Each structure stands twice: as C-alpha cells, then as structure tokens.
Structure 1
Amino acid sequence: MSGIESAWINGEAQTRIDVHDRGLQFGDGLFETLAVIDGRIMHWERHRARLMRGCQRLGLPEPPREQLERELQTAAADQPRAVLKLLYTCGCSLRGYARPDDIRAQRVLLRSAWPAGLERHSPAGLRIIWCRHRLASQPRLAGIKHLNRLDQVLARAEWQDPEINEGLLRDQDGHVIEGVASNLFLVRNGVLHTPRLDNCGVAGVMREHLMASARAAGIEVMESCMDENDVTGADELFLCNSLMGMRPVARLAGQRYETGPVTRRLLSLMNPESA
C-alpha cells in the first residue's frame, strides 16, 4: 500500500481537515485519481471535464481553474512516477444535510508513491472474480466520481487473495457495469463493447481515452447493455483505469481468456501513450 507522501488543503501544505467538512460528514464532494509520469499529469483535460460535470450534477461551484492547475503542477513537478488524489468537497457545515447558503468548497490534494509492481498498459493478464455485491441504480450520480464509495468498499472486502486483481460488479438487475476500481471492455466478432453507464457506475477517464483511440484506429466501439453471458462469451476481455491504463483479463473465475488481436492493437496504441 502506498502511503501519503505530501498533502495540501486549498494550496497550503497541511494534513489536518476540519471535522465539519461535508466530504467527511456526508461524502458531499468529488474526487479524481491522477497518474503522474515524468512530471506530467496524464489526461488532465479529461479529468478536469469529468470534475466539472460532477460539479454541475451535485450543484457545487467549479474550482478556480488557474489556481487548481498551479497546485496540481506544483505537486507533480519533478515526480518520475506518482499518484495525485484530488478531493473537492462542499466545505464545512454544522449538523444536518442542508448545505450552507455560502458554499466554500475545499480542495484537498494528496500525493502518493506509485504503487509497487503496477505496470501501465501492460500485456500481463489479470485474474478477476465476480462480486456478490450489487450496485444500486441512481441516474443522477451515474458516471461521476463522487466521494461515496461504499459500494466499492463492500465489494473489495469480498476477497483477500493477493492473486486476485479485481472484481466485476453488476447492478440490481444483473447487468454488468464495471470493475470495483476499473472499467470493463470486451470484444465480440471484432467489435469493442463497454457497458452503458446510464444508471450507475463511473465513466472512467481511461475508458473515454480508449474509446476515442479505438474509433480513431477504425475499430467499431459500442456502449452496450450486457449481462454475465455476454462477458463469459466474449472473445477478449480487458480492464482499464487511470493508473494501470489497460490490462487484458487472463482468467475470470474458472474461465480463461486469450489476449486477442483487438486488445494487442490497442496496447500498441497506448505504448508509447499519447494524452
């Protein structure tokens, strides 16, 4: 586990946050996990766009762009590889769910070491499982990266085996949505499919980047409603997120998958990565 190396709150180096912060009290806020490579924040514009969508969805004021980007660049500077976690909360209030009339949002920025052994855009296959926990449907929160991650906490508690890399989540109707900390893609008859995220799930930045890259390369891409049979019957399967990039699935429960031609082509497009 990578510990926090540095922390800033509203641009000031510190580690203590007010106990009245609504992100702590209610999960009232958003976050982004950013990969830093050679001092560069990967896919920042996509992260920023999702953060702005989240602000609109939750009714939060947008963070000051120039100030936020200066803080991020300061944290990323001279870092060969690091992880930045940006939390954007509604600020502080006393008891009760009602927000204050004057919202003073807070920016919390955490920098951690790159996770040991994590390869980005690696051909090494993952071993994954099906999670028993099911996601609830809430279209207003679908796609954004809000601070309430109890679904992911409960799902991740289902396994302790270090050989298992990830778990797949379904919704209450059995539709396959995503991984606990990743987005899912499958290939069937040469067409790239990823689950629709209309009612739940996180619209990942790497998911968006991969879809755009695949279309630019002439690969057909579809956002589809899919069930367990669609996944088990797929020709190829891979996962992605901002840190690991894309990784093929080698084994799901007892089923094995090969790294097929579409996955290999996309891996070649990602290495070297263009942001």
Structure 2
Amino acid sequence: MFLINGVEQDSLPANDRSVQFGDGCFTTTRIQNGIPTFFDQHLQRLQDTCRALMIPFSDWATLGQEMLSLAKSHINGVLKVIITRGSGGRGYSPAACQAPTRILSVSPAPAHYPGWQQQGITLSLSPVRLGRNVTLAGLKHLNRLEQVLIRTHLEQTNADEALVLDSEGWVTECCAANLFWRAGDTVFTPRLDHAGVNGIMRQHCLARLAQSRFRVVEITAREDAVRKADEVLICNALMPVVPVNQYAEARYLSRELFEFLAPLCEQSIKS
C-alpha cells in the first residue's frame, strides 16, 4: 500500500518533481515485529538529505508518526519513505513548488537474504560506473538511474551482486549495498566523499568496528585490493550483513569479520 501525504492512494501528479527530475530523497528500513528498525537514524538521514538538497520539508513529527503507524501491523517487512520537492511548474526552478510530498509504502521483506547469509554470495564487476559528485556523494537521492543500469547488467550474469567503481576507477559500493573487506586485522571500506551512498548499516558497522580489536580504514582503493583481501562482506539495512564467497578468480574462505558483525547487527535490529 502507499500513503501519500497521509492519504491511502497510489497515484501522484504528473508534475511532481520526483517524476520530472528525480527531485527528492528516500530511505528504506526493515520492519521487525511492527517496529521500523533504526527509526531515529532513518529519520535523521531524511532530514540531512533534505537539508543538503534544499527541500523545505518540515513536518517531521507527522512523518515519524506515519512511519510508526504503518509499520505497526507488520511482523516482518520493508518500509520505504520518499520525500519529493512536490509539484511545480515546467523547468528546473523549484520556485513554483507549493509543498513537499511524502510517500510511504510497505512491502514484503526480501526472501533471499537469509540464504545469502548462510551460503554467501558471488560478486561480479559492473561495467557501469558511478559519476563523481561531491555535492551528492553519500546521499540517498531519487536519481537512481545508475543503479538501474547496474542491476540490468547484473541480471545478465550469474553473480548475486555487483562490485561498482566510480568514473575514476575507485571501488565505491555494490548495487544495493555497502562494501567491507578485511586484510589481517585491518578492515577497509571505500570513502564515499565523491560517489556512493553512506548507508545506515554501514554507519552502524563502522561504529561497532571502532570499539573492536579491528583497525578500520575508510580508503580510496582500486578493485585489486578487494581481490587480494582475506575476507569480503556487504551490508544494508535489510540484509543486514552478507559474506562474499567469490569475486572474479578470488575466493574467500574466512568469515571472521562476518561472524563478528552479524550477531551485533541482528541484535541491534531486534532490540
């Protein structure tokens, strides 16, 4: 179901800026026992992104109540929240926009993630690269055409997820997940100051790792660093963490990092 500006409906004006320009942002959270997990963090992400995109949304209390209310009747599922700049006139200028639009929806939780956690996955290198843009880097805005192309190419392979580089060839993320790899006791994750999405689960993993015996480095690296790693895993708010078995000719037998993070992430989701 969709809840648009508090009304249960499934249609949007054709002149909404999300339709015209992808002008907006979103977040996706897992519902566990009627509660949207990492609720405060997802709401803060929307606030930060609206501020960065100069979207004048202010009704955060109403949005928060709608998120809680919509999740309440679902034991397990996915809650997606979209904020658009709203409807306006022709052209790029937002001056004619009257008010932002909020869109909430609930869908079933991905059924394949538990299997991925148990069995691990394979990565392939995507031929689609992410454009570098310091203004938009890290934000989960509605301009997802790059990810659509990445997914389209991925579905033509036998891999489960794609390793994605930016336009300069630096490792950035996966199609729908962030990336970590381990070499000895050092854990690496790509810097996201030029491209990519700074996911909620990525932030949570970084916080957990900062309190662990592992040394953590946010790095600008070529994909060869991933090939040479002892271990690779991916994460997002729904998975929450999944081990990688293979990338190209590299195979990863260790699950040391995964076994450290997985119970901590699951515990945080269920608490």
**After TM superposition, is the score higher than 0.5?**
yes
- Structure-2 residue corresponding to 1:192: 187
Give the total of aligned pairs.
270
Which of 25, 31, 41 aligns to 2:26? It is 31
8 Å CA contact 2:23, 2:85 repeated in 1: yes
- Structure-2 residue corresponding to 1:124: 119
1:240-263 residue CA offsets vs partner (Å, 9 max, x unmatched) = 011110001001123211233222
Residue 205 (1) aligns with residue 187 (2): no
Residue 136 (1) aligns with residue 131 (2): yes
8 Å CA contact 1:120, 1:245 repeated in 2: no
1:26-78 residue CA offsets vs partner (Å, 9 max, x unmatched) = 00000101110111111122212221111111101234121011100111003
Aligned mates of 1:164, 1:175 — CA distance in 2: 20
8 Å CA contact 2:240, 2:266 repeated in 1: no
Q: Secondary structure at the match of 2:119?
A: coil
- Normalising by structure 1, what TM-score? 0.93
8 Å CA contact 2:163, 2:174 repeated in 1: yes
8 Å CA contact 1:121, 1:246 repeated in 2: no
What are the within-5 Å matches in structure 2 for residues 100-249 of structure 1?
A: 100=95, 103-119=98-114, 122-160=117-155, 163-249=158-244
- Structure-2 residue corresponding to 1:72: 67
Letter in 1 for 2:67: L
Letter in 1 for 2:196: G
Displacement after TM superposition at 1:127 (Å): 1.1
Letter in 1 for 2:248: A
1:159-180 residue CA offsets vs partner (Å, 9 max, x unmatched) = 3258521101101111000001
**Aligned-pair RMSD on alpha carbons?**
1.7
Aligned mates of 1:95, 1:102 — CA distance in 2: 10
- Structure-1 residue corresponding to 2:56: 61
Letter in 1 for 2:234: L
- Structure-2 residue corresponding to 1:257: 252
- Structure-2 residue corresponding to 1:93: 88
8 Å CA contact 2:82, 2:103 repeated in 1: yes
Aligned mates of 1:233, 1:60 — CA distance in 2: 42
1:78-119 residue CA offsets vs partner (Å, 9 max, x unmatched) = 311111111100000121111125540000111111122332
Displacement after TM superposition at 1:185 (Å): 0.2
Displacement after TM superposition at 1:268 (Å): 2.9
Q: Secondary structure at the match of 1:158?
A: helix
Change (3 A) 1:262 1:113: closer
Structure 1 vs Structure 2: percent identity of aligned residues?
Answer: 34
| Greater CA drift, 234-243 or 117-126 | 117-126
8 Å CA contact 1:120, 1:246 repeated in 2: no
* 4+ aligned runs moved over 6 Å, structure 1: none
- Structure-2 residue corresponding to 1:42: 37
Which of 3, 8, 13 aligns to 1:18? It is 13
| Greater CA drift, 40-49 or 86-95 | 40-49
Aligned mates of 2:237, 2:141 — CA distance in 1: 16
Change (3 A) 1:110 1:162: farther
Aligned mates of 1:63, 1:87 — CA distance in 2: 14
Displacement after TM superposition at 1:121 (Å): 8.8
8 Å CA contact 1:121, 1:245 repeated in 2: no
* Greater RCO structure (CA 8 Å; 6+ sep): 1
Change (3 A) 1:170 1:255: same
1:214-267 residue CA offsets vs partner (Å, 9 max, x unmatched) = 112342211111111111111110000111100010011232112332221122
Residue 7 (1) aligns with residue 2 (2): yes
Letter in 2 for 1:266: L
- Which blocks of at least 5 consecutive residues in structure 1 are unaligned? 1-5
